[in-house]
Copies of this chain bind each other. A is one copy, B any other.
Amino acid sequence: MHTKIGVVDTTFARADMGGFALDELRRNASVSAERATVPGLKDLPVASKKLIEEGHCSLVIACGMVGPKPVDKDSARIASQALQQVQLMTNTHILEVFVHEDEAEDERELAWLLEQRTREHARNAVLLLLRPQKLEALAGTGQRQGFADAGPARW
C-alpha cells in the first residue's frame, strides 16, 4: 500500500513547523504527504483524526508551539490528551511535536528549536513507519529531539 503521512500545524506557532516537517519527509523517504493548518493547539486533534480517517494517512506529525502562560500550558495538556485519544481510536501513531516558547533563551534559539525538533520528529516518523528495527536498535540510548541527546546512564 502506498504510504501517506499527515502533517498538521498552526497559525499560532512562530515558525513554519509544517513546512519543516514536509521538507524533512521529502529528504528521507518517498512517501506522500497531506497538510492541514489550524488556528491553535486545541484544533490539532480533530484535524489529525480527519487526516487519518478522511485523508487515509498512516501516521500524523502534529506540530504546535506552546505559549508561556499557565493557560497555554493547559492547552498543551488538553491537546495532548486528545491526541492520545485519536491514536487509540484509530490505532495510528501521531508524533506530537510541541515546542514550549519558554524552552528557548531568545527568539533566535526559538526559531532554531522549532525547526530542529520538527525535523528530528519527522525522521522518527519515517523510522516508525518504515524501519522500526532501527528504533529498536536505539532503545534505551537516551535520544532527544531538539537539544542534545542525554545518552545512556553511565555505571
Binding site for B on A (CB under 8 A): 9-19, 35-39, 42-43, 45-47, 49-50, 53-54, 71, 74-89, 91-96, 100, 107-108, 110-111, 114, 121, 124, 128, 132, 135-136, 138-145, 150-155
Contact = CB atoms under 8 A, between A and B. Distances in A.
A88 B91 contact: no
The count of identical subunits is: 5
Contact of A46 (B13, B93, B143): B93
Nearest to A10: B139
A35 B136 contact: yes
Contacts of A145: 39
A37 B86 contact: no
B87 A88 contact: no
Contacts of A92: 46
Contacts of A38: 93, 128, 135
B85 A88 contact: yes
A56 to B, nearest CB: 14
A136 B63 CA distance: 13
Contacts of A10: 139-140
8 contacts: A11-B140, A14-B141, A17-B139, A36-B136, A71-B100, A78-B80, A108-B155, A111-B154
Contacts of A16: 139-140
